[in-house]
Amino acid sequence: MNECRLLEHISSLGAEGGRGQNSRSEILVNSILEHLRRILNTRQGSVPVDPEFGVPDFTNLAGSFSTGTTDQIVQDMSRMIQRYEPRLRQPQIVFTANRDEVLTLAFSISGTVNVDDREVPVRLTTQVAANGRVSLRRQ
């Protein structure tokens, strides 16, 4: 079960039914999604063993559509994904305008994952709320 992180694998041992009906690519993408949620919602400097882990505080940046602000968020998120989530290959993050939610910034994250020696495309949507909280979901 290479598609899971160690703690996910350990916790699944006690779960009834093991893997269930999910394919390997679904398990892998779900694992990456959960890990990215943790990474992008951890404030930089809050992890004693690695002060570089996490992103800067995005509070007060959401709702600001200045190019410098969105470019900085894209750079910070890209740096974290490339460093701490190597299972998502060639990650690309693009700012997407979201007229419905004026106090959030929306981004699209795309990349590929390797499953059984083939590249599977992955697309995620990300929103940074006014309180700095990052939410992710599959597209």
Domains of the chain by residue range? 6-138
CATH of domain 6-138: 3.10.450.40
Query: Among 110, 133, 124, 109, which residue's Cα sits nearest to residue 61?
Result: 133
pTM across the whole model: 0.77
Between CA 88 and CA 79 the distance in angstroms is 12
Q: What is the DSSP letter of 104?
A: -
Between CA 138 and CA 24 the distance in angstroms is 16
Write out pLDDT tens, residues 9-38: 565 655 555 445 568 888 889 999 999 999
Write out pLDDT tens, residues 37-86: 999 999 988 999 999 888 887 765 545 555 567 888 889 889 999 999 99
